[in-house]
Structure 1
């Protein structure tokens, strides 16, 4: 009889859970009538992007706060609303279809969010951290009607220790966001108030995972890892809370579960761990060492995180023909990949699922590329971990903002620059440093790109030198496409549609930072029925593939003459742009994949 009752309770519980899902889904549906990806149909509002959001620094215990929140849009300066407008699905931007709202915010309004949560009883005595993956742009956070903090920056994570402000029972969480998009000076990338051509829909509010994490009052805050393959060592800089000089950091490096090296040091000390028989990371063999970091107090572990690290080196070197080449692990290595915008027709900045996030990287590998240029956007941490694990090099752009001087891509040493206000300049420096700190430990990232096509370009030499000094483990591409200055590691040319080498630098690597843009508009896979464009357009897959291969054969000759990397525009269609290898909804591969893969692999191996 007891067994029957237990089984009955399980059935009732499962039924209640199912009803809750149906009830929640009944309060939400994608907004608008634009095209969508297949993954949009897989969204369960009770389990939205449920994967651990920061795998390079992972703790065992955490709680996801994604899902349906209340929202309201009010004029700037208004108090918290007593009545909210409805439900919004976090973490999708308010302008996106998957938010269920799809409304413009604009600089004259503020976006309010509200939800409640409880603290698990197992977390009693712990400090509770509230994490935001990214919120665009200015954020204020309230716990139980107390403002606990604020943050500016649309691309980087931030967190607050909310422990002192918690009450018994349910906790009230309110978030207020202001985002002027292009009415402000802040980094916005391709967002525009009036999207057209190469400019896209604004993205405002929460667009990455929100989550809770319990820690001890003394805990690990950040783990920065790098490597020196010439000296055969991994290097760790680990930041912790507190000032207890007796606390110890222990780092273990593992290969297939076996500890190959371990090291202890007082908190605040740099840790260098020898790796005598190093396995080097590359796109062909993306080997990662497992890393375990523990914080010890009086011999007891008070915090522990799981991480990973890689042994790899990026550099430049002049070859026997006098051409400065990019190198990976001390070998000439031609870097070739697509311009990857990272936009989604249903989620805008936010991929509908983690499977969707992986898809674009996997297809890039399938096409035979070895690199991705992440174009004026920063991705969630899981995207970079997927690149680390799958093996793809990443050029990381700084999202552009503010106004732009005249673009002078075919001139050298005399490019014009923007004179920013002090506030704008300080914000650029803050957000660029935050992005570099956020992504520092990901081995897939090999190049920082501070400026693109003169968009918001200012003090190029100073910014480039600061970037290089702040992270000497990577290359710096100072001004992709111009305006050009004699600084950094690369001279980067843009040319559409075909490749062309119209400038050359004998002292730095010369790269083709953008070319291609071959367009093909496919009915039923278009963001908009009219005004779709590519730099050159064709009528079918064969014509597009033929043109792609023609450009690839031209590029092969230019590699011999001096190009050391190239970036093809682009991975997918984006809104009105139809020049992707794949449609915007990711449902059609527009080129002959085997032909593209064959010629791409020939390009990538041309310096072997």
Structure 2
């Protein structure tokens, strides 16, 4: 145990003052009228869409006990969507508090609908709970801060056409609209449309899922954010349209299965597959029969699901070294959806020497990863530009890493798209939450006493209470969000592991949770408990080690629980280590730094980072299968990143400076 390093990293009470306003290169040249205007979902794209990013009006008001929510009579100003009000790029820079409501309003020219068409309003993420009105009609509510959701606003637009509720807000596209398209053309403009959105966000005070956000930020906890923080956009679709795709590439059988969910009564669904060079390599079709049992009802038409199977010859396998994608076109009536997939296998099993390891496409792979918080100095949780995603991924590939651990956050779908096409594996964390965490239980005790890790029953109510995971409503929310996260991301080939609980935060019954996720998706391994408080479930014995000599710890096969018991072994993952600090003048948010071991010399820091990475990689011979270095970038007062918070300096490169 490195006591000196551990004591130096202990959280301290100190006044850091206001953060230095750091702009990233993309924030410096941001065009607010073309902000994040790429198609938000490349794996489910149509030729036409309308981006609603740009300037909206906003107001922050005191929450009341009134049963009926009423928009404010006056707004405070304008906010640049999709940045949260706490972010520099939003133009607001104000913290939403638990006793307040955040209102948004935007008026624009709506698309003109033809007979039988539907208009869908998409929010990629709103933190945390919201209600939405269109032309004065409530079109839906949503709870949960990290996943996308959609409202069908067709009837509300029809009311505007009939003169029954036209928007009354000011402006239009020139007042903040920013329409974009995938392909040529866009729906013709129609009547005025007013969107009003009301958001509440109590962060940690309501036990909700929140990740690294905290109202009193500091140390490893970051500025809490609220409201719209991912793109907002519209789509016009025919009444008979494709609703969702479930992609099931089978590398062993050279076969692609596609579950197509459609809205509509009858019709032929056609699937076309092309390779990376654009050559046609397969096709299939099936008919939605009249009278078939719908899987659900929705405004406009029932939902039905059918399976298409496409045999392929000479399938090329996806890997970080060869990230080959296959492109899909799905047609149903006049609706056309574009997607892509890839063929690869990922599993944990014993190698020839009997050690459990990660196998990619049947070959053992040392997974070399970086902890990726997904924060930017000017956008906070929101990337300032699509190129910012590419920059981070490519910088880590260039540094020799083949995996990013997306930490306690579900990122924008385009980030996963870039990982897919560039060849970067992803370990996907579930978002943590729950009640207040007992610092002794979740940090100090497991740091000091490793013996506490493996004999801590997370089914015991008293233990769940100390970890913030005891409340039944929270457990239900976590399980629902976990299932939806798997459903949302499972089509991405880059996603190679589900990580359920981190350092005990909000942890409860990890064995049962791992079993549920394994049934949902048996094609990916699971890290059930990253850090400590191992419940002997999942595919990894997953350890965080910042203060001890790096080593591979012995697992206990006789204590294994759940689906892994039959295999009888788990791989060893050093799922966090490093965290060495180098603050770069003029590129750090605060005058004080937080991390694990501080260096003033960039050269000495690089030597220490290289030493730690080499020390970890050398453990492969002893059974190490995964390593995750902390971390990709500085975040607020944490200056332990390989990149600075503003992304202007790559600390690994000699002579790299702004």
TM-score, normalized by length of structure 2? 0.82
1:386-405, aligned counterparts within 5 Å?
386-403=418-435, 404=437
3-state DSSP of counterpart to 2:320: coil
Counterpart in the other structure of 2:44: 57
Counterpart in the other structure of 2:30: 43
Q: Is the 8 A contact 2:44 2:338 kept in 1?
A: yes
CA distance in 2, matches of 1:372, 1:157: 22
Shift of the 500–145 alpha-carbon distance from structure 1 to 2, 3 Å rule, reads same
CA distance in 1, matches of 2:377, 2:410: 17
Is residue 522 from structure 1 mapped to residue 584 from structure 2 by the alignment? yes
Q: Deviations over 1:288-311 (max 9, x none)?
A: 00111111xxxxx23110100100
1:550 is displaced (CA, Å) by 1.5
Counterpart in the other structure of 2:149: 158
CA distance in 2, matches of 1:382, 1:158: 16
Q: Is the 8 A contact 1:569 1:580 kept in 2?
A: yes
Structure 2 gap segments, 5+ residues each: 1-17, 162-190, 289-304, 459-463, 558-568
1:313-324, aligned counterparts within 5 Å?
313-324=345-356
1:263 is displaced (CA, Å) by 1.1
Shift of the 208–287 alpha-carbon distance from structure 1 to 2, 3 Å rule, reads same
Is residue 437 from structure 1 mapped to residue 487 from structure 2 by the alignment? yes
3-state DSSP of counterpart to 2:508: coil
**Of 261, 274, 278, which residue of structure 1 is paired with 2:282?**
261
Q: Deviations over 1:518-556 (max 9, x none)?
A: 1011111111112x1220111111101111121123223
1:190-339, aligned counterparts within 5 Å?
190-242=212-264, 244=265, 246-255=266-275, 256-267=277-288, 268-295=305-332, 301-339=333-371
CA distance in 2, matches of 1:356, 1:556: 29
Is residue 555 from structure 1 mapped to residue 616 from structure 2 by the alignment? yes
CA distance in 1, matches of 2:319, 2:411: 21
Counterpart in the other structure of 1:80: 71
1:395 is displaced (CA, Å) by 0.1
Q: Is the 8 A contact 1:499 1:555 kept in 2?
A: no
**Of 604, 613, 618, which residue of structure 2 is paired with 1:543?**
604
CA RMSD of aligned residues (A): 1.8
1:589 is displaced (CA, Å) by 1.3
Counterpart in the other structure of 1:24: none
Counterpart in the other structure of 1:489: 539
Q: Is the 8 A contact 1:91 1:210 kept in 2?
A: yes
Is residue 183 from structure 1 mapped to residue 241 from structure 2 by the alignment? no
TM-score, normalized by length of structure 1? 0.89
1:364-383, aligned counterparts within 5 Å?
364-383=396-415
1:224 is displaced (CA, Å) by 1.6
Q: Is the 8 A contact 1:499 1:515 kept in 2?
A: no
1:276 is displaced (CA, Å) by 2.4
**Of 447, 455, 458, which residue of structure 2 is paired with 1:414?**
455
Structure 1 gap segments, 5+ residues each: 1-30, 296-300, 596-608
Q: Is the 8 A contact 2:434 2:471 kept in 1?
A: no
1:275 is displaced (CA, Å) by 2.0
Q: Is the 8 A contact 1:151 1:158 kept in 2?
A: yes
Shift of the 122–160 alpha-carbon distance from structure 1 to 2, 3 Å rule, reads closer
1:497 is displaced (CA, Å) by 5.0
3-state DSSP of counterpart to 1:238: strand
1:9-24, aligned counterparts within 5 Å?
none
Q: Deviations over 1:155-207 (max 9, x none)?
A: 11101110011113211110000010111211111100100000000110000
1:235 is displaced (CA, Å) by 2.1
1:272 is displaced (CA, Å) by 2.5
CA distance in 2, matches of 1:177, 1:32: 26
Q: Is the 8 A contact 1:115 1:172 kept in 2?
A: yes
